[in-house]
Each structure stands twice: as structure tokens, then as C-alpha cells.
Amino acid sequence: MQTTFQRLGAPLGPPSVQTFSRDADRERLSATALKAYKRITQAWVLSPADAAGLLDVTVRTWNRYEGRQSVALRQDQLTRISALAGIYKGLNLLLSSPLANEWPTRENDGFLYRGHTPVHAMLEGGIPKMLDVRRHIDGARGGL
């Protein structure tokens, strides 16, 4: 006896899970991720050096990304953009628009930042610190 899914031509078994490790997934996601990241860097008024540093590329590479749509980002770069997009969204849910966009570049005396800006902390700490900042924002808005 055929199931509804078999009659409709759907494949049997679990659906394919999207990951950042497969080339096809990275190629498909990169253009949208890069477009979103460019908007975040503009909203946060990041310097080219900070924008490049958060993405773990040189300023020269970042400048080349500025005008291109078809760039296949690495797995770690997509992870970075995902974390930063979560921070951006969380801040905009938690704070008013001007403050939400200023917060990442304001000095912060909190434990994670120790008198530096969140951007500085993330530049120094890489992906682990980005995930810490995202958890901090999610926790502040009650999303843990």
C-alpha cells in the first residue's frame, strides 16, 4: 500500500538537513547572508576594518565582497554571520532603534566586555565570544 508521500512523489526518509558544511548549501546561502551582513555593518556603523575582522577576512577581501553578490563563504563565516544576525535581531527586539544599533559600539562594563565595546570583544574572542554575546542578548530579553 502506498503512502500519501509516495503517491505525491516525495522521497522516503527524513528530509535533508541544511548545514554550513556542504558546498551546495554554502553557495545557496552565501549571497543572502552577505547581503544581511552588509546591512548589519551599515546599521552598526562599523569601520571596514571592524566589518572585515568580524567576518575574519582582510579589509581588502571585505572591500571585494562589497560589490559582489556571488561569493561562496566559508562555514565559519556563515556561522559568524548567523551569530551576528541573531545579535542584531535580539537587540532590535530588546531596545529602541537608535540604541539597538549603537549598543554594539558602546563601551560596556559588563563581565563579557570588561570596559570594551561588544564589537571589540567579538573581534578579540571570535565565534565563541559572538555566541556569548548572542546568549547575553537572548537572556536579557528572556529568550533563553
Q: How many CB atoms within 10 Å of residue 89? A: 16
Tell me: the pLDDT tens digits for 32-81? Answer: 899 999 999 999 999 999 999 999 999 999 998 876 667 889 999 999 99
C-alpha cell at 33: 547572508
Measured over the CA atoms of residue 133, residue 46, residue 42 and residue 107, the dihedral's sign is positive
Mean pLDDT lowest among 9-18, 55-64, 77-86, 110-119:
9-18
Residue (of 36, 30, 39) closest to 70 by Cα position: 30
Nearest of 35, 56, 34, 54 to residue 46 by alpha carbon:
54
Contacts of 39 (CB under 8 A, 6+ apart): none
Structure pTM?
0.83
